[in-house]
Chain A
């Protein structure tokens, strides 16, 4: 169908714009590289000695999937920041005046952010291997784990898109984009065993979709039984995409004619 072809083509043109820019944006490249490396090294060496997780001989195997998960989730913030930047520069108005698919601006942005996140992931994985992290399960399981993490981060990109389109400035997109991700990633199983949390927080951490996704990836990387977590995390990601893509695209078009 013509409309679908146009939407795919236009989204790719938009994604390509962002992907071309990434290597030219030194701050972004450094941030995307150094931040995950720093997280891996800091958490492993600062907390590594004092945290013991039942069932895990070394903390790295427990912690690193959590770090991967958190870094990828943080990476989604760029979607909102980038959109807010395009809005403030008048670029979005220009795109809205072009005969292009209405969804392409947001699809192109989220897809290019997914590609950038993939890069971030491989940098982290390299560092993780250097400090002793290993896939204890099969490669297929590790691939599946990575896919679940990336998908969840892609889903959150759509949440960030809605934030970026709703707030007035790049600065606001930055704070509004990050602020809720701290409680979400720390009140979770990413760094600690939730059973050690205060009674009030434990159920929150257990129900947190970030915990579910992290647990699924951790089990798969370590060759442990994954249970229902894989399917639940898939459902969470798909659900978030469906709801927030609809809301974001509506927001994007709200003031325009069609």
Chain B
């Protein structure tokens, strides 16, 4: 175990009766990084977070936070982490400021620091106007912001965000993304779980894809996308007579087989870096006298990645993709 990683987990296993929630998860998060734990509902994301935050004891495996073992010294781990769970865990009948102070005192911060940190974070999370109102009247976005502010009061070295934007409206979601990006600028290590692919894509330096309690892939968003074959060119033409001409025009411009639709009007093929190819494709098709309806280059989304990966996982359960 090395203290070089803020989070360092090896072979975590957790069973609930017959259900295997974690099936040997390895996870190394360097200091100051934002890592995204991506997976569908029930993949084991929350269980992983609960083990790393000392809420659950793993059945097997080891995990350290800042080099401190979660099983041997849970108290030491709790002093170094912040946790924001799936529900905004705030006291509804206390004010925003009282909630902050409540958590600050339970972290045993000096009294003066509790007050100053609370003010600082309320300001930063845009809750100054609401600070002295009871939380019951807060919107979902405000509650979530307060929840994260509470997690940050003792300057944790690792912040765990379990589905931080689930249930938020699109505007609050964007605001939340902005806040999480600012955390990275502060140097806080963040481990966030999400089932939203665009969220992981936007926020995480590295993404760990997890399914059925196993890590099925990890890497940067681009690395994961490259794994399923880079960009794809799609071309639609107007007349089916031009099918053969279009095929022979497109073939030299693409890096792989050109797929043709049943009606002979749509073509799709892998290409190298997208944008530069489009003008050449249009010019070549035009020169060949082909009426073009549409040319499009599509970057694969993490949805594509996930479908590809989980499809493979279903047939090839024990292959280590990572």
CA distance A245 to B213 in the complex (A): 36
CB pair B75–A94 under 8 Å, yes or no, is no
Which residues from B are CB-within-8-Å of A10? 106
Does any Cβ of B come within 8 Å of A228's Cβ?
A: no
Does any Cβ of A come within 8 Å of B89's Cβ?
A: yes
Number of B positions contacting A (CB below 8 A): 32
| Contacts A13-B106, A17-B102, A257-B71; A24 near B134 (Cβ below 8 A) | yes
CA distance A211 to B81 in the complex (A): 50
CB pair A94–B89 under 8 Å, yes or no, is yes
Contact with A along B261-272 (1 / 0, CB 8 A): 000000000000
**Distance to closest chain A CB from B91 (angstroms):** 6
Which residues from B are CB-within-8-Å of A17? 91, 94, 102
Which residues from B are CB-within-8-Å of A99? 75, 78-79, 106-108
CB pair B85–A93 under 8 Å, yes or no, is yes
Which residues from A are CB-within-8-Å of B88? 90
CB pair A258–B93 under 8 Å, yes or no, is no
Does any Cβ of A come within 8 Å of B246's Cβ?
A: no
CA distance A20 to B113 in the complex (A): 22
Contact with B along A124-162 (1 / 0, CB 8 A): 000000000000000000000000000000000000000
Does any Cβ of B come within 8 Å of A96's Cβ?
A: yes
Residue among A10, A89, A99 having the largest count of chain B Cβ atoms under 10 Å? A99
CB pair B103–A98 under 8 Å, yes or no, is yes
From A13, A20, A95, give the contact of B105 (CB < 8 A): A13
CB contacts under 8 Å to A, within B90-108, are: 90-94, 98, 102-103, 105-108
**Distance to closest chain B CB from A26 (angstroms):** 11
Closest to B160 in A: A97
Which residues from A are CB-within-8-Å of B93? 20-21, 24-25
CB pair B56–A255 under 8 Å, yes or no, is yes
Contact with B along A95-111 (1 / 0, CB 8 A): 11111100000000000
**Distance to closest chain B CB from A9 (angstroms):** 8
CB contacts under 8 Å to A, within B64-90, are: 70-71, 74-75, 78-79, 81, 83, 85-90
CB pair A257–B94 under 8 Å, yes or no, is no
Residues of A in contact with B (beta carbons under 8 Å apart): 6, 9-10, 13, 17, 20-21, 24-25, 89-91, 93-100, 255-258
